[in-house]
Amino acid sequence: MFATARTKLTLLLAALFMLLYVGAAVAVYALMYRMTVEDEDNLLMANAKPLASSVLHSLNHGEFPKAFVNLRQLEQLYPKMSAIVLRDAMGHILADTDAAVAESLKYSYSMSLETTWVPKTHSYVRVLSIHFSNRYGQSVGWLQLALDVDHDIAALNRLRRVLVLVGAAGLLLSLVAGFAASHRALRPIARSWQRQQQFVADASHELRTPLAVIQANLDVVLQHGEQKVSDNLEWLSAIHEEIRRLTRLIGDLLTLARADSGEAAIRREEVNLLPLVRSVADRMSVLAEAKPLSLTVEADPAGDYRVHGDADRLRQLLTILVDNALKYTPSGGRVVISLSRRRRVVRLQVQDSGIGIAKEDQSRIFDRFYRGDRARERGTGGAGLGLAIAQWIVRMHRGRLSVHSEPGSGSVFTVSLRSAV
Ligand code: ADP
């Protein structure tokens, strides 16, 4: 898919370049042509003026073109002209100063200026043709002046060749550059596409397991259709547990999907972290007691821990960190939630005396669906999305989330946020 997109983008860039180049080249060539030809046309017109008035004079005396054919004299009078030609009413040449040029010239009934190729001399001439008619409107003949423009046309042809060559080289270069540029431009898109694919694959995998467990347990219950509900409590509570897990997983997936699409907005209101921390600790104390382990809050009661942010999201962040600390700390251990403030930064730390995180895992635990080996072994039930969500919440608050951990002796997760005051 990305290969075709890259080819299309490359061709588009090359086509755009060619369009611009051809436009510029045509404009340059046309300008040069006009400038060159204009000088020559002016010269032809200037020379034609006295000649044309002589022809008119002869015509008025009814003697065109007899009185007018002293060619030697014409050649001397108009030395810059490469040929002067007189034609009769039928277009036959009456007189010329250069036969080779004269026979290649075209003529029409209106005055014209054109460039003509003379095969015999292998050169270009610029020709001014003036048609004359008598007072009754009958054609009497033509006067033609030709100027050698070979030098100029050769220069223009050279310019054209150079423009074509530069265009071809530019096209090649734009294809190569376009390919490189499109490759670069598409790389982040391809990466995020792959990440999305991976996300969908992992999510499907995570959804399949609880569904399979529910299915298996329901099969057992259905096989004992004659039994009472209380006889099947073991299977039913397993189903209940899996549904709880599924609901949480779907909630997490939804949060991340909304985060990716930029839909999930973060409110910006003043939040005091101290009551928030206390209320989360209170709620989680049931889990701590069940294990049992100690869960305490350390903060200066007079401290100012106000930040700007979204209270619900900050509560979710703290719940994820405390939930992990409780999950990965064995019975008898301790979990401490502490708040501190240094200048304009409020620091929220969740410290545990749990299993810790291997060095090689520490950079990956914030990735989606990443679970440490120990976490998987213990079957703690998470899908590896908690810290990815926590990371997103902290980023949305323009804060920092870091981890410090020693395997075997515990972990500290630190959230740094800008204080509101
Ligand atoms: P989950 O806990 O659902 O597996 P998380 O994204 O919250 O997913 O955590 C990812 C991994 O980070 C966990 O599987 C675990 O290996 C490790 N981890 C997170 N918090 C802790 C902690 N407090 N102590 C030890 N390991 C942790």
Ligand 1 midpoint to CA 331 (Å): 17
- Residue 351's region, left for phi above 0, alpha for psi from -120 to 50, else beta, is beta
Q: Quote the CA–CA distance of 49 and 69 in Å, as a whole number.
A: 17
Ligand 1 midpoint to CA 267 (Å): 27
Atom number of ligand 1 nearest to Cα 381: 3
Report CA dihedral (44, 46, 48, 53) to the nearest 10 degrees. Answer: 170
Pocket-testing residue among 366, 371, 393, 401, ligand 1, by greatest number of atoms within 8 A of Cβ: 371
Atom number of ligand 1 nearest to Cα 354: 24
Ligand 1 midpoint to CA 165 (Å): 63
Atom number of ligand 1 nearest to Cα 371: 14
| pLDDT score recorded for residue 356 | 94
The string of DSSP letters for 202-223 reads HHHHHHHHHHHHHHHHHHHHHH
Phi, psi of 125 (to 5 degrees): -130, 150
Residues in the chain: 421
2-60 vs 150-223: helix crossing angle, rounded to 10: 150
Q: Quote the CA–CA distance of 172 and 115 in Å, as a whole number.
A: 34
Atom number of ligand 1 nearest to Cα 385: 6
Q: Whose CA is nearest to atom 14 of ligand 1?
A: 371
| pLDDT score recorded for residue 77 | 77
Atom number of ligand 1 nearest to Cα 355: 25
Ligand 1 midpoint to CA 324 (Å): 6
Ligand 1 midpoint to CA 384 (Å): 7
Q: Whose CA is nearest to atom 8 of ligand 1?
A: 384
Report CA dihedral (95, 100, 105, 111) to the nearest 10 degrees. Answer: -40
Atom number of ligand 1 nearest to Cα 366: 6
Q: Do strands 334-342 and 400-406 pair parallel, antiparallel, or not at all (unpaired)?
A: unpaired
Q: At 297, which helix (H) or strand (E)? A: strand 294-298
Q: Whose CA is nearest to atom 2 of ligand 1?
A: 382
Q: Whose CA is nearest to atom 7 of ligand 1?
A: 386
Q: Are 392 and 379 in contact (CB under 8 A)?
A: no
| pLDDT score recorded for residue 380 | 59
Ligand 1 midpoint to CA 58 (Å): 111
Looking at 264-336, list the stretches that DSSP marks H as alpha helix, in order from N- to C-terminal side: 273-290, 311-327
Place of tokens 């588009």: 12
Where do the DSSP E strands lie in 2-161? 83-88, 93-96, 112-118, 123-133, 139-148
Q: Quote the CA–CA distance of 45 and 42 in Å, as a whole number.
A: 5
Atom number of ligand 1 nearest to Cα 382: 3
Ligand 1 midpoint to CA 317 (Å): 13
- Tokens encoding 357: 């995180």
Ligand 1 midpoint to CA 300 (Å): 29
For each successive 10 residues of the chain (421 residues), what is the average pLDDT?
85 92 95 90 90 79 62 74 88 87 87 90 92 84 91 91 94 91 88 87 88 93 88 91 92 89 86 96 94 95 94 96 95 96 95 94 92 64 88 95 95 96 82
Q: Are 317 and 415 in contact (CB under 8 A)?
A: yes
Residues with CB under 6 A from ligand 1: 320, 324-325, 328, 352, 354-357, 365, 370-372, 375, 382-388, 411
- Residue 316's region, left for phi above 0, alpha for psi from -120 to 50, else beta, is alpha
| pLDDT score recorded for residue 57 | 78
Neighbour tally for 93: CB within 10 Å? 15
The verdict on pTM exceeding 0.75 is: no
Phi, psi of 142 (to 5 degrees): -130, 150
DSSP state of 419: B
Q: Whose CA is nearest to atom 12 of ligand 1?
A: 365
Q: Quote the CA–CA distance of 217 and 232 in Å, as a whole number.
A: 10
Q: Quote the CA–CA distance of 295 and 276 in Å, as a whole number.
A: 15
Ligand 1 midpoint to CA 230 (Å): 36
Read off the amino acid at residue 292: P
Question: Measured at the alpha carbon of residue 390, what is the angle toward residues 389 and 392, in degrees to the nearest 5?
Answer: 65
Ligand 1 midpoint to CA 355 (Å): 10
Q: Quote the CA–CA distance of 353 and 350 in Å, as a whole number.
A: 10
Ligand 1 midpoint to CA 313 (Å): 19
- Tokens encoding 28: 């340059």
